[in-house]
Amino acid sequence: MLKTAGYSIILGLDPGIADTGVGIIKKEGHRLSSVFYTSIKTAAKSPLADRLSLLNTELDKLIKKYRPQIISVEELFFCKNIKTALVVGQARGVLLLTAKQNGLPIVEFTPLQVKQAVSSYGKAGKQQVQKMVKLILNLKELPRPDDAADALAVAICAANSI
């Protein structure tokens, strides 16, 4: 498991097939700071296998570049559309496999846990989560896109839970 003393790099993921949020933070003692954040985008008209392959390739590059010590992934908690849930579940599977292939420990959190970790309110809205992520990580502006802000929140949740 992740050492709490000293310095650690935590990679947070907000899984999606069109956009997978990626947020990398550094933990030094009780201080958290942003290292990098982005969204891995896949083309809607591309075949599913190509989109999943792109997620694998891009995440693998980020892992090799930033060398996180642990990966934190948001669980698929609720989805109104079964087809969407299945595809997002496949994307999550690829992300988990990529982390495992890189020998990284994985922690998973529900959206409720993530929202509570950053805002102290499990039903916080997107805007409130973004504002708290900005405040916690001492960012100059709200992190964008939304998926990247969510991924940073997942990483913060891991940092505060370990």
Query: Which of the following is catalytic: 19, 108, 147, 150?
Result: 147
Does the active-site annotation cover 50?
no
Does the active-site annotation cover 141?
no
Provide mean pLDDT across the span 144-159: 95
Residue 123's Cβ-count burial label (10 Å; 0-12, 13-18, 19+) is exposed
Q: What pLDDT sits at residue 77? A: 67
Q: What CATH number labels 7-161? A: 3.30.420.10
Query: Which of the following is catalytic: 28, 74, 75, 108?
Result: 74
Does the active-site annotation cover 14?
yes
| Residues above pLDDT 90, as percent of the chain | 77
Q: In this model, does residue 21 exceed pLDDT 90?
A: yes
Provide mean pLDDT across the span 9-31: 96
- pTM score, two decimals? 0.92
Confidence of residue 123 (pLDDT cuts 50, 70, 90): confident
